[in-house]
Every structure is written in structure tokens, then in C-alpha cells.
A and B are shown apart, each in its own frame.
Chain A
Amino acid sequence: MVKIKNLCKQFDTLTAVDDISFQVNQGEVLGFLGPNGAGKSTTMKMITGFLTPTAGTVTVAGHDIVQKPLEVKQRLGYLPEGAAGYPDMTPANYLDFVAQIRGLRGQDKRRRIEDTVMRVNLESVLHQSIDTLSKGFKRRVGLAQAILHDPEVLILDEPTDGLDPNQKHEVRTLIKNMAKEKVIILSTHILEEVHAVCSRAIIIADGQIVADGTPSELEAKSHYHNSVTITLRANQDKATEVRQALLNLPNIHKLETLIEDDSTLSYQIFPEKHGSIIGEISQYARTQQWIVTELHVDKGRMDEVFRSVTTSV
């Protein structure tokens, strides 16, 4: 369990992290979102003990990072955004080194390394020096080092950065499989990742938390939440009639025209106060016997929430 209380970090005149507090429990995967320079990496560096907080506390599994750094670091696996490992070492040697530092020995060490190498698919580059590896492989070496000792807590700074879609999928699956017994905090710029992997998301901007909730809760804040997109096969001269009819339905806030041409009419309809209007609309479409080719409800756009929440600070 990771507890952050009133955490602050000041660099000379720059306040990188400004009084943030949150808690993450076992089984949770927390996604850290935010513009570049918002304070995500700085927060992670403080949790892992690389930077000393200016104020506030970080507690991991009951141990304070400043008072008991070794106890925290033993229980933690960290994938930093920077270096994957010592450039002149091979993944094999590097993982062996990390395993030994973490107190693994003999058979146990060998088994763990083999297991980890298999999970992140490093077999093919195991004996190549790290500085010659592609970005994707470097990232995987870093990930391997983080999960090697099966830690209670994983802090991953942009774990899928630079990976191709297949590799992204593999890493996300790996994270999801580990989620049950661990606390996982990851930072990402990829909004689809939040839905794919995270059980909770925190948006940080200018060092402060501006949103905190499950991905669905965050999406519900979106302007687009519960808006309905409907596409009909109809002639253009029916357009005004259709628009009027839709606007007259209950709880409609506004209507946006997407397409109006010879054969297709497409509109996005926004409800009052994020209410559900899909029932009304589909009912009406059926009674009017419209030829509906597309009808769906928007859950909300993360990028739009992100933008509105981070640019108003």
C-alpha cells in the first residue's frame, strides 16, 4: 500500500509538486496522467527514493521512504523513464547484477531471471550489450529489472513508451496479470492505456491533482458523455425536418450536424446534464421508420476531459 501525504518538491524557484495526497491499495493500478512537466516523474522519483521531498511524506507498506529507505526499496520495483541499464552490460549480466543486489542467490536467482526473461521476451537479445538494443528492447530490460524480485509495489514511468503496438499489448497484458497481488502506479500519455489497464486515474497539472477517479468516472466528466450519434439514410431535403424532430425530444441540450448530403444525414445529439437520451432517440427513430445505419452512445472522450482539466489550471 502506498500513501502520499502533502507531498511537495521545490527546485529553487520552481514548484514541481505542490501538496499532493493520495493512496493506492493492493489490487489497484493507478494511472498518472498529465502534461509534460506536470510533476508525474518527479512524484515517482520521490516515491522510489531518488529525490528527497521538500515536504510531505511517502509511505510504502508502512515504511517511510526517508526514514527507512532500504525497507521501501526492497519492496519496490521501478522502471524509470531514462536509463534501462548499464550500457556496457548485457541484459543477462545486468539482470544477474540486479538480482544479486536484491539478495537473490543460486537456484532461486537463476529461476527468477529465466522466468522474467521469458515474461518480457528478452531471449533473443540476452547477450547483446544494452547500448546496442532498440528502444523497445531497452524498455523491456528496464521492465525486467523492475519485476525480477516480484515486488509488492511497481512504479512504472511510461512503460509502453516507444513500443510498437504488439509490444504495447504484451506489456499491458503483463501489467494486468500482475495487478491482483500488487500495487501498480504507472504514468502514461496514452489515454487508451488508461482504459486498458488502469483501475483508477489521477490527472496532474502544474504539480497539483486536478482529477482523481476511475476511468469511467473521468470520462463521465466529458462534454461528450452520453451524447448520441445517429446516422440515417435519407435525402437532404428531409434534413430540417429530422433536425427539428430530434431537437424536440425531451432532455436534448443541442444538436451538431456531422453529415448532410444526398444520401446520408448524421447528427450528434447532446443531452441536458449528461442524461441518458438513447432510449428516446431509438424509440423515436423506430416509430418514424427511419433507416438508421449507425447509432451509438459516446462514453466520453478522455482527451477532451484531459484538455479541459489541465488547461484551466
Chain B
Amino acid sequence: MRASLIWVLFKRELASYFATPIAYVFIVIFLFLSGIFTFHLGNFFARAQADLLPFFSFHPWLYLFLIPALSMRLWAEERKSGTIELLLTLPITITESVLGKFLAAWAFTAIALALTFPMWLSVNYLGEPDHAMILAGYLGSFLMAGGFLAIGSCMSALTKNQVIAFIVTAVVCLAFILSGFPLVLDFFSGWAPQIIVETISSFSFLTHFDSLSKGVIDLRDLIYFFSLIAFWLFTTAILIEMKKAD
């Protein structure tokens, strides 16, 4: 694994986001919506608490439809335009390519997240928030975005069609979000052994993101996100390799 090559690809990919309207549209919509959700739907002012919980609580739902829009082009676009033939015949391994593209997409979402700093400034102006808690929240959101992107990267490698990649990614991500919901867990707790119910709940984005957004940095949550990302990226690489035989 040559970091220098991953870096070269990373730079190219990140620059390409900003070469088209994609970047600007995504960032504007993300900032706008997260703002609206926090202040209106999240009752930010009414609850009068100096924290950003209302802000963070909407991130999974924002990511649900915004991140597939980013990830759908990761591999499907390369197949469609034919540039995948160039990428796969250059002396760079599939693993390095998968990582380079993923990291660029992740860095981009980090940029979008960073641009929400006015939220932090607002709550800081209005009260005395726990900054460590807010930082943990951003970390959790960043990791969760990584999880969504890794799933998206895999779905994008499955098809040439970006719309299909978008929809399938959204559905799979939804499954991961919902698997922590009482509604879903209740369905299983009736008849399945406790260990199964717990396993299903442990898959949920919400369960792990929740504690992070409340300021608790538990090693298990970090492991969850990193292993999730690793699993989906690994699957992406396998899929691309398999498709070469086709």
C-alpha cells in the first residue's frame, strides 16, 4: 500500500469535486437544511439548552439523502465515462484506488461539516456550551458520514447507473439507521434470542452516533465505525476485481 499514490489520487479526486457545481450545491444545501432543521424542527431556541444536540440529531437523516449523491459517482461515473479503463491499467492497485477515492469523498464531507462552524459560534454566543461534547458530536458525525460513504462506494461499484447506486445506497443506509429503532427491535425481541436482538441493534448507526453526540467517546463506537468502513471498502475492492473477469 503506497501512501504516496493514494495521496496523488486523493488530490485529483478532491479537486474534481470543486471543478463542477457538485461541491457548491452539496455544501449550500447541507448548510441550509441543517440550519433549518436545527432552528425550526429542532426547537433550538425553545429548549434553551447550550448544546448542539438538535443540530446533530438531524445529521443521519441529512446524510441519508445527501451522501448517496456524493458517493454514487465514485465508481459508476468512471465506468460510464470509460475512465475506469485508465485507472485500472495504471500501476496503482485497486485497494489504493478505493482508498484514494473514499478519502477524498470523506475529506469533502469534512469540509462541509467544518463549514457549519457558525452553529458552534451561535451556541457559544448564546450560552456556555460544553465544547468537548460538541467536538465529540462532530467526530461522531464525521465517522458516520464515513460509514455512509463506504456503503455508497460499494453500491457505486456494483453498477454503471448512478441513479441505481443512489437508491440502493440510501436503502442500505436506511436499514443501518433503522436497525436501532425500538420499532424494529421490538419486532425481533418477541421471538429472537436476546443475542440476535442485541446484534441487530449494534449494527445501527443511531445507537453509536447517539452516545458520541452526547459527548461519550466510547472505544466500542469508534471500533464500530472503523470496522464498518473497512468492511464496505474491502467489499468495494473485491467487487471491482470480480468485475474485471466480466
Residues of A within 8 A of B (CB): 11, 45, 48-52, 54, 69-70, 73-74, 76, 78, 80, 82-83, 85-89, 93, 97-98, 100-103, 145
The reply to whether A49 and B88 contact each other, CB–CB distance below 8 Å, is yes
Confirm or deny: B194 has a beta carbon within 8 angstroms of a beta carbon on chain A: no
The reply to whether A76 and B89 contact each other, CB–CB distance below 8 Å, is yes
Q: Which of A50, A97, A100 contacts B88 (CB 8 A)?
A: A50
Docked Cα-Cα span, A83 to B89, in Å, equals: 13
A312 vs chain B, min Cβ distance (A)? 31
Interface residues of B in 220-246 (CB under 8 A from A): 244-246
Docked Cα-Cα span, A48 to B85, in Å, equals: 9
The reply to whether A83 and B88 contact each other, CB–CB distance below 8 Å, is no
Cβ contacts under 8 Å, A54 to chain B: 245
Nearest A residue to B85 via CB reads A80
Nearest B residue to A78 via CB reads B89
Docked Cα-Cα span, A83 to B81, in Å, equals: 7
Cβ contacts under 8 Å, B81 to chain A: 83, 86-87
The reply to whether A50 and B244 contact each other, CB–CB distance below 8 Å, is yes
5 contacts between A and B (CB under 8 A): A49-B89, A74-B91, A80-B89, A86-B16, A145-B86
Interface residues of B in 58-83 (CB under 8 A from A): 81-83
A122 vs chain B, min Cβ distance (A)? 17
Confirm or deny: B31 has a beta carbon within 8 angstroms of a beta carbon on chain A: no
Cβ contacts under 8 Å, B92 to chain A: 101
Nearest A residue to B93 via CB reads A70
Known: A70-B93, A88-B19, A88-B20. A82 touches B85 (CB 8 A): yes
Cβ contacts under 8 Å, A101 to chain B: 5, 8-9, 90-92
Cβ contacts under 8 Å, B91 to chain A: 70, 73-74, 101-103
Known: A88-B19, A89-B16, A97-B12. A83 touches B83 (CB 8 A): yes
The reply to whether B245 and A52 contact each other, CB–CB distance below 8 Å, is yes
Cβ contacts under 8 Å, A45 to chain B: 85
Nearest B residue to A49 via CB reads B89
Known: A70-B93, A101-B92. 17 other contacts (CB 8 A): A49-B89, A50-B85, A50-B89, A70-B91, A73-B89, A80-B82, A80-B85, A82-B82, A83-B85, A83-B86, A85-B83, A85-B86, A86-B81, A87-B81, A88-B20, A101-B9, A145-B86
Docked Cα-Cα span, A78 to B8, in Å, equals: 20
Known: A50-B244, A88-B20. A98 touches B90 (CB 8 A): yes
Cβ contacts under 8 Å, A87 to chain B: 81, 83
Nearest A residue to B92 via CB reads A101
Cβ contacts under 8 Å, A86 to chain B: 12, 16, 81, 83, 86
B200 vs chain A, min Cβ distance (A)? 37
Cβ contacts under 8 Å, A98 to chain B: 90
Cβ contacts under 8 Å, B19 to chain A: 88-89
Cβ contacts under 8 Å, B245 to chain A: 51-52, 54
Cβ contacts under 8 Å, B89 to chain A: 48-50, 73, 76, 78, 80
Q: Which of B8, B15, B246 contacts A11 (CB 8 A)?
A: B246
B10 vs chain A, min Cβ distance (A)? 11
B45 vs chain A, min Cβ distance (A)? 43
B62 vs chain A, min Cβ distance (A)? 26
Cβ contacts under 8 Å, B5 to chain A: 101
Cβ contacts under 8 Å, A103 to chain B: 91
Cβ contacts under 8 Å, A83 to chain B: 81-83, 85-86
